[in-house]
Structure 1
């Protein structure tokens, strides 16, 4: 059984009442991937705005493997110390990673964040030498319109991320840079300028699905349910 682990921030964990892009990707893989698979991770809750904590189980449709390693306000800075044990304990084969917005906004600059990417990959490989990692660049959010310095850091990090993925890619432990959804627009694909609405969920899921199909021959063209 192929075991996918979604790793991300608030865009991946989602909020109470949402489907999440994890659900959209699972639906796609149910029809496009021919073998047994599941989603794994040490967590399975949503963020609950009422408690400002990951305490909600109120998925719009809970009938899917809800496991993940994602957290509201967490980034590469937070996940790097956790990824080795998570991969080991959950026996993850493929990591689907969407991180960086939090790091650049609050914790590390582009160069420091790229260093954390390298450490993250090293920790994941120490736990599973053949692990595959699909990485989404930072998607621009509403802050880039008001903060030129932040916008520059996002652009710089995404450039460094592409170089880092190319440098670390190995035949037995593939690293894949997921092209961001070409039509993704935070004005229309989010509900608050950052967090994906239904169309945003589908576009993020499609980006991962299409990249894995094109580069790894895994699954097929994205087929939203």
Structure 2
């Protein structure tokens, strides 16, 4: 891992997590700590989603010793690519991340935009982030279809199409100055085994998501080391 790497988590409900969760952000932080190399987690938010309040107002992480600084992120329950486009420029300018770890798309297709519209928002997001951080690295996680896709073939097709369009965008927009990387679907990820409701990761799923990002960066950029489950 490069000295002093600054990471910004960007995502939807799978990334922000709900009260009582560890979150895959926590799993990633634990892994980075084990490398014994300097890093910082940055971002404008620190809280979890509280279902009772229907707002991100909870600090009730499963591990209360999870440091406040390491809880930082730019993720939101019900927020997708279209919501992050107008926010990412300010976040990059203020928090100066080196790497964006991005898990977005499912909520877009579920509620807001189709695959083509979402892909355009992906491109807008990349452009807005690079406008404030020309040397940013970005790792994008493919959309992991949820249980709705098992019941709705049209939705499953939209998920597959968005993943194809994201792969195309990453390939076309990748540059030596600002590398882009599309991670692989987490190895062996099973929504029946690795989520608690068909969408959101349980403890095992959190490890799977963290590993997808960690292993992608190690394999493509030689950053860090293979994921170890803690």
In structure 1, the gaps of 5 or more residues are none
Distance in 2 of aligned mates of 1:35 and 1:176: 22
Q: TM-score, normalised by structure 1?
A: 0.98
Distance in 2 of aligned mates of 1:224 and 1:154: 28
In structure 2, the gaps of 5 or more residues are none
Q: How many residues align?
A: 224
The 5 A counterparts of 1:1-225 are 1-32=4-35, 34-62=36-64, 63-64=66-67, 65-225=70-230
Distance in 2 of aligned mates of 1:113 and 1:105: 11
Q: After TM superposition, give the deviation of residue 198 of structure 1 in Å.
A: 0.3
C-alpha RMSD of matched pairs (Å): 0.8
Distance in 1 of aligned mates of 2:221 and 2:37: 14
Distance in 1 of aligned mates of 2:149 and 2:135: 36
Distance in 2 of aligned mates of 1:222 and 1:92: 21
Distance in 2 of aligned mates of 1:149 and 1:77: 21
Q: Which runs of 4+ in 1 moved over 6 A?
A: none
Q: TM-score, normalised by structure 2?
A: 0.96
Distance in 1 of aligned mates of 2:222 and 2:186: 19
